[in-house]
Structure 1
């Protein structure tokens, strides 16, 4: 394949290692602002837990150049936290590690990307600025997390302009020994409008399919947000809201398996149950979402670390639906909280699935939501390390 030839050539020319197994781990720079035991800094990361680390997020300036997302967290200037430097310095501990900067994310949205990709001149301004920033801070490439082309305030021409950006970006990045990755929506409902899949496939090294958030407290009933396969009672669109159907869609529409990585959430989606008597899938949950976790402070959301710590300290019930691989957990005395999430067994099953489908590997969103301090199992980043071990074992 052309992308492998280019990456190997770049690696030889610029001494960049090429990993056999791929585990791409996003790190949210704002995790440094969490309180108490929930705080996760770059210093807490394990350089050997992932093959690629992605620093989230950079943004876009009004002149279409790349923008440092949080100068105080990312840079050393003026007593900053030196996030970029510490992040890329992890390579001194692990010579095989690659570090990328991710641009975009939900808070950036679609309109800035639409404007930046609209003309060759605006794309060139972005690409030149991105390469300068990456080289200054010793990153090995750029991840584009545009959510989503042609949607969320985007323009119809975004679909084609995204491919133009990736083609021009890949050409420029390869000449500097750098790589290009993207993160994409999993479902046909979004992907069919947002992406020229065969076009994208020509110009990226890896595509992270965000196979999570299939369900959440926006639904008036409970369900698993990152199921591998359909639940026996799933009908209509719900039958397709799972990892296997998403990967099948991307494969059938032109994305090579060896470029895809399966997205793995280190977080749970949480509801408040209507009653204490119905606690399985499709249990009524039309009340407001569950209260925020103590560290992530988001309604209807808890990190794996928050969930496993609550289970350990407060005795939350853990269950699985018949025929499903993933757990859910609930605590009826406490606002009737119900969360779908991943555990060690479920991530191992999904790592084996990815290997069996010939995928390049897995993506973690986000490693700072894993058990970063080893509260639950005694092993820091237990889910991420389990993914890596299981994928390597299944790929032998």
Structure 2
């Protein structure tokens, strides 16, 4: 009897040690396999030893409560497919301690279908059953709920408690099969307060991936940083809440246990086209998103690999903001706010200082995985160095240039094509609308007291926006886009 007590005590201690280990949660955007050479990223490029959890993004949902594979050729082995799910889960052979999860949702999936499914107890129960079967069939260790967002984007107030019912039912079934349940959530109080009962959801989720980025971007009319750590003294109102520290403290104050809070960091930057090249600081006027990069090919967003390669070419002025603790760079009319090795080192120190559960990054395929600017995976290795005792990465010189108080005027304009802006009058009502000239492009129209805020989005390569489902779909299945 004493022997068995000792064994159980030892197992409990091991479980406790595993729970206390800092997590490094690596999201993988599966559409990156379609990018051009230099940015094309395959599952075989993933270093699983550098991630405690790997999350494959994304699958979808339908109104009957079924889990839907969004890219069967890429995800499955059927019909000579690439078997993304299978190859992703085989990464555990290289790193047996790494756990693999499948994520459902994402921005493009929207909220309406999720709202409908969780509102119906019968359909919700069917969905829970389908999720368990899906994870078992494809050999995932767990499931990540990335509903963006309950009670927003076409959702309804009842979503807040229906979301809790969903998590409770998922966790009940997951515990029977040893599956992991996590979620990706809105970070800032103005959004999170609309969507979440934080104490309740914290009971059922193993960990919570707080998306502490996208605080500012080209949907605004002035420059702003993607993921500032702290506010500026001259900010006021809601702007004081649009930073990492304010978001984390809101979640903690609202009842999220620190060990379950996984701090999100961006492996990409938000880019703008300046309205006036001589006004190039924070809150400078802009005329639209920054030019698309050669790999991600999305105006207003650049992967860190694209940023570091561009900075390496020279001609940029780099400013490290003393209050926000993150850098931005400008060249001609192009302006980028991003994170680098130095800012991530400070954010990892922040995680340790508050004893948070670890770091999550979006997403692994936009790190400098080819090592074109120095060592391979500099950002991911920075997370490991601070949270798991890895080897520190030295910042490369191009991204650590000193602040220039009187920068020289550029001698030439950027060679990239000018950024595009949403067509005038594109918004007739709140919701999504496809670009009239490019089926790959769509916009979200948000009604702000009679004035539309317009956000521009691009479907992954090979897909177009389907106005019937408000999702990206294969071109041959969408009328008017053949």
Q: Which TM bucket (shorter chain)?
A: over 0.9
In the other structure, the counterpart of 2:205 is 204
The answer to whether the 8 Å contact 2:63/2:116 transfers is no
Residue in 2 aligned with 1:5? none
Structure 1 residue 380: Cα displacement: 1.9
Deviations 1:339-376 (A, max 9, x none): 00000010011011011111100110011111121111
User: What CA distance in whole angstroms lies between the structure 2 residues aligned with 1:117 and 1:309?
Assistant: 44
For 1:179-198, what per-residue CA distance to the aligned partner results, in whole angstroms no more than 9, with x for missing partners?
Answer: 10001111111111111111
Larger displacement relative to structure 2 (165-174 or 76-85): 76-85
Output the CA distance in 2 between the equivalents of 1:9 and 1:200: 30
Which of 370, 383, 387 aligns to 2:383? It is 387
Structure of higher CA gyration radius: 2
Cα distance in 1 for partners of 2:232, 2:294 equals 31
Tell me how far apart the structure 2 counterparts of residues 309 and 54 of structure 1 sit (CA, whole Å).
27
Residue 364 of structure 2, aligned match among 367, 383, 390: 367
Give the distance between the partners of 2:140 and 2:20, measured in 1 at CA.
Answer: 16
Partner of 2:318: 318
Q: Which runs of 5+ in 2 are unaligned?
A: 1-8, 391-482
Pairwise CA distance, 1:127:
1.3
The equivalent residue for 1:340 is: 337
* 1:89-104 mapped onto 2 (5 Å cutoff): 89-104=90-105
The answer on whether the counterparts of 1:10 and 1:174 sit within 8 Å (CA) in structure 2 is: no
Contact 2:101 2:142 in 1 (8 A): yes
Alignment correspondent of 1:75: 76
Whether the 8 Å CA contact 1:18–1:96 is kept in 2: the answer is no
Deviation at 1:250, TM superposition (A): 0.6
Q: d(CA) in 2 for partners of 1:117 and 1:323?
A: 42
RMSD across aligned positions (CA)? 2.0
**Highest RCO, 1 vs 2 (Cα 8 Å, sep ≥ 6):** 1
In proportion to residue count, which structure has more strand? 2
CA distances 1:276-310 after superposition (whole Å, capped 9, x unpaired): 2222111121x121111111111111010100011
Stretch of structure 1 that moved more, 150-159 or 323-332: 323-332
User: Could you say what secondary structure the match of 1:339 adopts?
Assistant: strand
Q: Is the 8 A contact 2:142 2:181 kept in 1?
A: yes
Q: Partner of 1:117: helix, strand, or coil?
A: helix
Measure the CA separation in 1 of the matches of 2:35 and 2:193.
Answer: 37
What TM-score do the two structures reach when normalised by structure 1? 0.92
Give the Cα separation in 2 of the matches to 1:43 and 1:9. Answer: 36
Deviation at 1:9, TM superposition (A): 12
CA displacement, residues 77-133 of structure 1 (integer Å, 9 cap, x when unaligned): 111111101111010000110000000111111111111111221111111111111
Contact 2:221 2:288 in 1 (8 A): no
Indicate the larger mover: 187-196 or 314-323: 314-323
Confirm or deny: 8 A CA contact 1:10 1:177 kept in the other structure. no
How far 1:41 sits from its partner (Å)? 1.1
1:18 offset after TM fit, Å? 5.5
> Aligned runs of 1:181-260 on 2, under 5 Å?
181-260=182-261
**1:376 lines up with 2:373 in the alignment:** yes
Gaps of 5+ in 1: 1-7
Give the distance between the partners of 1:41 and 1:355, measured in 2 at CA: 32
Cα 1:182/1:190, change in 2 over 3 Å: same
Partner of 2:282: 281
Look up the SS of the partner of 1:171 in the other structure: helix
2: CA distance, partners of 1:115 / 1:284: 40
After TM superposition, give the deviation of residue 267 of structure 1 in Å.
Answer: 0.5
Q: Distance in 2 between matches of 1:56 and 1:288?
A: 28
CA distance in 1, matches of 2:323, 2:205: 36
Distance 1:237 1:156 in 2: 22
Do the aligned residues in 1 keep the contact of 2:270 with 2:302 (CA within 8 Å)? Answer: yes
Measure how far apart 1:19 and its partner are: 7.0
Query: How many aligned positions are there?
Result: 380
Q: Distance in 1 between matches of 2:273 and 2:63?
A: 41
Shift of 1:322: 3.0
* Residue 351 to residue 223, structure 1, CA distance change in 2 (3 Å): same
TM-score (normalizing by structure 2): 0.76
Q: 1:324, CA displacement in angstroms?
A: 3.5
